[in-house]
Structure 1
Amino acid sequence: MTEPRMTWRDAVDYSATHGLLAKRLYVVFSAPTNGLGPVLENLEPHLQHQAKLEKDGIMFAAGPLASADEQNWEGSGMFIYRAGSRDEARAFADSDPMHISGARTYTIKTWLLNEGTFSVQLFFSGGAPTIS
């Protein structure tokens, strides 16, 4: 018996026709090419770049990835872009100072956001409550 297969187009269509969000996003996995040193040297311009993408509405989420034992940060990170295509997502990743400098290399995966929740709290006065 052969393993069943599903094209990506079929997966997108299934999501869209079965009450799922079917929001296409692009996940960038960014990994050091030569240890943590070059990553740290490019951290400030990288964070400025990320903040600009966030302000421009491109950055959905981003952050560092822990080592497998959760004891260290070895310089890798993950970013999720709102982009019209994989090529556009690649252009955003190519413009990251980490990638321009060669401190990191990256791979992109297309992700279909289907399930989850999102909540917002707005405090008009007194600031956010203290969490204990």
Structure 2
Amino acid sequence: MNDKTPDQLTSGFLRREFYVVTTTPARSPEIKKLLPEHLEYQVKLEREGKLFGAGPFYEEGDDIPSGGMIILRARSAAEAREIADADPFHKAGLRSYTLRKWMMNEGAMTVTIRYSDQSVEIAD
């Protein structure tokens, strides 16, 4: 049995703050029209180092997205909200979203993978 307290066990954790945007898609033909602009915006955020990850959610057995998640690097909730509000889908009122602060404590990352162009950078 471990005699350490939770504070002792977590003292070395990363404790890095991110902001998670959870979206609810609207079923509208306008989504397809704005999809290229939305994707360009996501890649721009990725290139600026503001986008940690993003993508759609699917219910089990379904191939139509039921929502999406965007994980942002931001200094504050206000900055994260500005980024989310500037998304073309949100600006056009085609999607609603919730914003939550997320504290990353555990995990591992040894490479940088850019999903949009499938490039890989090995960390030093």
- After TM superposition, the score normalised by the length of structure 2 is 0.77
| Runs of 5+ unmatched residues, structure 2 | 1-6, 113-119
SS of match in other structure, 1:46: helix
Distance 1:50 1:98, change over 3 A: same
| Runs of 5+ unmatched residues, structure 1 | 1-13, 122-127
The answer to whether the aligner puts 1:22 opposite 2:15 as a matched pair is yes
Q: Distance in 2 between matches of 1:115 and 1:28?
A: 20
Q: Distance in 2 between matches of 1:20 and 1:84?
A: 19
Query: Of 88, 107, 130, which residue of structure 1 is paired with 2:79?
Result: 88
Report which of the two structures shows the higher radius of gyration computed on alpha carbons.
1
The equivalences for 1:70-109 within 5 A come to: 70-74=61-65, 76-109=67-100
Q: What is the root-mean-square deviation of aligned Cα atoms in Å? A: 2.1
The percentage of aligned residue pairs carrying the same residue is: 40
Residues 66-89 of structure 1: CA deviation (Å, up to 9, x unaligned): 1x2232223521100000000000
Partner of 2:116: none
8 Å Cα contact 1:39/1:75 also seen in 2: no
Higher strand share: 2
Partner of 1:10: none
SS of match in other structure, 1:109: strand
8 Å Cα contact 1:36/1:74 also seen in 2: no
- After TM superposition, the score normalised by the length of structure 1 is 0.73
After superposing the two structures, state which structure 1 stretch, 83-92 or 39-48, moved more: 39-48
